[in-house]
């Protein structure tokens, strides 16, 4: 399915009326509703829905066919519900619907979190270096709080299998690369071997987001802090340092070419935001974690992103994926930065 095909889905008069009835039955809105797509359309589809007095957010998968295990929005809703029990910074789930109940796919409704989504530029309301430093500190502090959540207390102990997480993650990514159709995989293979040879034992077990970056967070402009963490599609139980490494490689570094996820966080180059090193040190202070093996987790995160982008590029080349992934240099950017950190450059 191409990005254009995914984005072509929208509520029509019949489905919008049914949505309004569903929301009214759950005491969420009253009367007819308006809908507006929000987000980039690359994954699950997200809509702002309003009856003119109250706004909520509806999240659903892209149109079928949906690959097995992908785009599980009800799993996302379960995660948000669990984290709400810990008073974590997530929207509140207001209702869910199974496939066939409202649409041909499942969906969930969550509260709307007002605030700023920061990507390429920081809003003028956060104009000072002190405010931006506060935002940066809140980013890493909020990640540390996620990793401290007691999974049993919030009912998320069955979210994943943390034992053997690191090596299993490498194997699953390697299988995905095999499905990408071939080509010269020597750069992937060299980093794969380095990762396997240097893989640390898991640093612990925690809820990990695995797409934690500033563009997936809502920032409260009044307090210069994280208001809500969004997009939990990839979350599982795993090694918290992989979550940290994945976050850090999305933070751009002055003087270094930006990988694609760092490009999405370009605002962090502005004066005041903490550097990768400062963020890592603050995380260690927050959690007491030993971050001496952090370079491995950064390499793993970059290699994993390269695999995912290569897989998506292959799908796009075959006419069934997002043309964005055909942009030259995306995969090579991840691989080059990974090789630089690992010290495996040719």
| Closest CA relative to residue 242, chosen from 308, 162, 180 | 162
Q: Could you read off the pLDDT tens digit of each residue along the chain, which spans 346 residues?
A: 344 444 468 999 999 999 999 999 999 999 999 999 987 655 789 999 999 999 999 999 887 655 555 568 999 999 999 999 999 999 999 999 999 999 999 999 999 999 999 999 999 999 899 999 999 999 999 999 999 999 999 999 999 999 999 999 999 999 988 877 666 789 999 999 999 999 999 999 999 999 999 999 999 999 999 999 999 999 999 999 999 999 999 999 999 999 999 999 999 999 999 999 999 999 999 999 999 999 999 999 999 999 999 988 888 888 877 788 899 999 999 999 999 999 987 6
Q: Are residues 51 and 87 both part of a single domain? A: yes
- 3-state helix, strand, coil split of the chain in percent (to 5) is 45, 10, 45
Quick check: is 154 in a domain?
A: yes
Contact 49, 58 (CB under 8 A): yes
Q: Are 76 and 138 within one domain?
A: no
Same domain? For 178 and 251 the reply is yes
Nearest to 146, CA basis, from 92, 82, 203: 82
257-293: burial string, b at 16+ Cβ within 10 Å, e else: ebbbbbebbbbbeeebbbebeebbebbbebbebebee
Q: Are residues 31 and 148 in the same domain?
A: no
> Quick one: pLDDT at residue 9?
86
Residue 116 maps to a domain: no
Q: 194 with 144, same domain?
A: yes
Q: pLDDT value at position 43?
A: 73
Q: Which residues pair with 236 in a beta bridge?
A: 208
Residue 117, domain member (yes or no): no
172 within 8 A of 310, measured Cβ to Cβ: no
Tell whether 93 is covered by a domain.
yes
Per-residue model confidence (pLDDT) at position 36? 95
pLDDT at 183 (0 to 100): 67
Which of 81, 111, 141 is a domain's end point? 111
Cβ neighbors of 312 (< 8 A, separation 6 or more) are 321, 322, 325
Query: Pick from 57, 79, 111: which residue ends a domain?
Result: 111
pTM: predicted TM-score of the whole model, two decimal places: 0.92
CATH number, domain of 87, equals 3.30.200.20
Does 130 map to a domain?
yes
Are residues 39 and 162 both part of a single domain?
no
> Do 182 and 237 belong to one domain?
yes
Residue at 212 is within a domain: yes
90 and 207 co-located in one domain: no
Structurally, how many domains does the chain consist of? Answer: 2
The full length of the chain comes to 346
Element (H, E) at 108: strand 107-111
Q: Which domain holds residue 83?
A: 3-111
Same-domain pairing of 65 and 35: yes
Tell me, yes or no, whether 308 lies in a domain.
yes
Q: Are residues 277 and 186 in the same domain?
A: yes
**269 assigned to some structural domain:** yes
| Nearby residues of 163 by Cβ (< 8 Å), 6 or more positions away | 202, 205
Whether 153 and 189 map to the same domain: the answer is yes
Six-digit token pair at 269? 């180059």
Structural domain ending residue among the three candidates 111, 141, 176: 111
The whole-number pLDDT of residue 65 equals: 52
Same domain, 252 and 282: yes
Which CATH number is 307's domain given? 3.90.1200.10
């Amino acid at each position: 399915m191409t990005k254009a095909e995914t984005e072509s889905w929208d509520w029509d008069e019949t489905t919008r009326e049914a949505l309004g009835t569903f929301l009214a039955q759950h005491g969420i809105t009253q009367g007819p509703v308006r809908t507006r797509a929000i987000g980039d359309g690359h994954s699950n589809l997200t809509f702002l829905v309003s009856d003119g007095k109250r706004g909520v957010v509806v999240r659903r998968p892209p149109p079928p066919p949906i690959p097995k295990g992908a785009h599980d929005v009800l799993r996302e809703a379960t995660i948000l519900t669990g984290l709400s029990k810990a008073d974590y910074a997530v929207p509140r789930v207001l209702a869910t619907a199974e496939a066939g109940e409202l649409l041909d796919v499942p969906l969930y409704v969550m509260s709307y979190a007002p605030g700023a989504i920061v990507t390429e530029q920081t809003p003028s309301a956060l104009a000072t270096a002190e405010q931006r430093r506060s935002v940066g500190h809140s980013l890493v502090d909020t990640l540390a709080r996620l990793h401290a959540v007691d999974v049993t207390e919030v009912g998320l102990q069955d979210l994943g299998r943390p034992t053997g997480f690191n090596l299993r993650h490498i194997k699953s990514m390697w299988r995905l690369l095999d499905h990408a159709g071939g080509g010269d995989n020597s750069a992937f293979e060299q980093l794969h071997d380095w990762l396997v040879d240097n893989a640390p034992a898991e640093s612990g077990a925690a809820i990990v987001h695995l797409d934690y970056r500033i563009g997936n967070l809502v920032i409260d402009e009044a307090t210069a802090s994280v208001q809500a963490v969004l997009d939990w599609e990839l979350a599982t139980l795993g090694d918290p340092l992989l979550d940290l490494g994945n976050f850090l490689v999305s933070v751009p570094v002055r003087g270094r070419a930006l990988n694609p996820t760092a490009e999405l966080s370009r605002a962090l180059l502005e004066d005041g935001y903490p550097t990768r090193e400062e963020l890592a040190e603050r995380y260690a202070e927050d959690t007491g974690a030993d971050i001496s093996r952090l370079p491995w987790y950064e390499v793993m995160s970059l290699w994993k992103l390269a695999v995912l982008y290569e897989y998506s590029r292959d799908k796009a080349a075959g006419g069934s994926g997002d043309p964005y992934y055909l942009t030259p240099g995306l995969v090579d950017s991840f691989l080059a930065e990974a090789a630089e950190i690992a010290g495996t450059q040719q």
